[in-house]
Structure 1
Amino acid sequence: MSELGDRAVLHDVYDETGSRVYHDVSVRDTHEVRELVALVRRTPGAVLELAAGSGRLTLPLLALGRHVTAVELSAAMLELLSERLAEAPERLRERCAPVQADMSSFALGRRFEVIVLGTTSISLLDEEGRAGLYAAVREHVAPGGRFLLSTVDIVRSGGVAPTAEPEAEFEVVGASGRAYRMHEYWPTEADARTVTVFPAEIGDEDPVTVCTTTVGVLPADRLEAELVGAGLTVLARHSLPDGGWRHHDVLLEVGVKV
């Protein structure tokens, strides 16, 4: 950033410009898709997807033959989802209901057999926001239903921390064919990590679009304790394959206490 100086135009990854970069980078990412879909299959019924984004998980959920209500706060992300649905087969499109709402305080007036919150998106919420989310989930999950969500597992089995270096950089090729440099800054034991996306090749032209976001780090043990405290029951913790990054994610399967 310092080398770019005034040439850098900074965007949040969820604004109108950043959302398209985020979509390009993530839309073909299959991390956690197979595992989530397998768990959703076990519980018949309608699906509520929170923080749906541009539909990385939405389309696979629709492909199961389910009705999916896709909740997303960012208008830019919802526009991308609508564009994808417009290109999808009618049998998928007619079973999806996009809704602009905050996952920490939504009221849809109905219950769902499965609620999904993927991509470790719960880490976008602070403690107050998570409390609102848990309360909303309790109001929207059907009896015997499931709440499926992913988060970072700070310590792997054997007690080894996932990373000791505060900085790392990766090169990613998006669905468009454009290449990006993704830089992650995550100091040891810090409760947040910052991800910044640069073009892989920077020429002499102005300006240079740089997208960034700071994501909270919510360890699985702490998340489980919060869920139990909110009147939910953690039924299982499922390990997820490494997604190419230096941290490890887990998928929690949650029910409601009777």
Structure 2
Amino acid sequence: MTLNRPLIPGRAGALLAELGDRAVCCDLYDEVGAPVYHDLAGQDTHEVRELLTLVRTVPGPVLDLAAGSGRLTMPLLASGRDVTALELSGSMLKLLTARLAEAPEALRNRCTPVQADMSDFALGREFGVIVLGTTSVSLLDAPGRKGLYHSVRAHLAPGGRLLLSTVDLTAGDQAPTETEVEFTADSGRSYRMFEYWTPGAEARTVTVFPAVIGGEQVDVCTTTIRVLSADQLEEELRQSGFAVCSRRLLPDVGARHHSVLIEAEVTA
């Protein structure tokens, strides 16, 4: 879905202005942006090992929320678990389905893709572990997070665990206002990714350009992600009937990312 010109700050905004009418803005999760997001996710193994370690301690099927194109779904399946992959974006689910089609049949048969909203879902079954990784909780506003916690409570088996991660920009030194990373994905496509955050602001902006700009049209993918501290999420979880079992500071990624993994269970 093509967006109207969003207000993009910093160097990314200046580059967008230079491109003028050649630039076509899209959401990072729509039909145009989904392959770009898939390329980004394919470069990122952050938190995967830590999540898998915790998942192994709890039996039962796994629900992977905001599964995207399978960044966590595929490792979870490879670990031998039955996985339901819930994703709102049809474009993302198409990418996941294509990956599953190329996977071994035994692995493919243990995955159930579901198109649904992580803030309001009813699957009619319980799970030993519900995972919300890739800091995707930051995509939800306050009412959305309240709905998420309610839905998770209804789907966690007794003794089950909720695992969710967040980028806690209060967990270290204040980050620079803007960072830029250039990389080449496994697909062979190259990108320039800008991330802009003003210390204290409620959200950060991520904008992705092709590294080599040519042709009459340039697809520019962007999204705005809320900044949610681990303290805030833990308090919301407690208010929604969860007890926090552990909080783990994950290895830093780049100059600004201080990711935290929270483990919670439903209170009696």
Report TM bin, short chain: over 0.9
| Contact 1:154 1:220 (8 Å CA) reproduced | no
What residue number does 2:242 align with? Answer: 232
Q: Which of the residues 187, 204, 212 maps onto 1:193?
A: 204
Q: Structure 2 matches for 1:128-147, cutoff 5 A?
A: 128-147=143-162
Letter in 1 for 2:93: L
Measured in 2, the distance between the counterparts of 1:230 and 1:245 equals 33
Q: Structure 2 matches for 1:64-213, cutoff 5 A?
A: 64-156=79-171, 160-163=172-175, 165-203=176-214, 205-213=215-223
Measured in 2, the distance between the counterparts of 1:224 and 1:171 equals 34
Secondary structure of 1:197 counterpart: strand
Measured in 1, the distance between the counterparts of 2:237 and 2:39 equals 33
| Shift in Å, 1:245 | 5.1
What residue number does 2:10 align with? Answer: none
The RMSD of aligned alpha carbons is: 1.0
Measured in 1, the distance between the counterparts of 2:148 and 2:180 equals 32
TM (norm. structure 2) is: 0.92
| Shift in Å, 1:174 | 1.2
Is 1:14 aligned to 2:24, yes or no?
no
Measured in 2, the distance between the counterparts of 1:219 and 1:162 equals 13
TM (norm. structure 1) is: 0.96
What residue number does 2:7 align with? Answer: none
Does the C-alpha gap of structure 1 residues 101 and 245 become closer, same or farther in structure 2, counting only changes over 3 Å? farther
**Percent identity, aligned pairs only?**
64
Structure 1, unmatched stretches of 5+, are none
| Contact 1:49 1:68 (8 Å CA) reproduced | yes
What residue number does 1:48 align with? Answer: 63
Q: Note the alpha carbon deviations across 1:68-121, whole angstroms, 9 max, x for none.
A: 000000000000000000001111100000000000000001110000000000
Measured in 1, the distance between the counterparts of 2:203 and 2:183 equals 22
Letter in 2 for 1:217: V
Structure 2, unmatched stretches of 5+, are 1-15
Matched residues, number: 253
Measured in 2, the distance between the counterparts of 1:19 and 1:90 equals 25
Measured in 2, the distance between the counterparts of 1:16 and 1:155 equals 33
| Contact 2:28 2:37 (8 Å CA) reproduced | yes
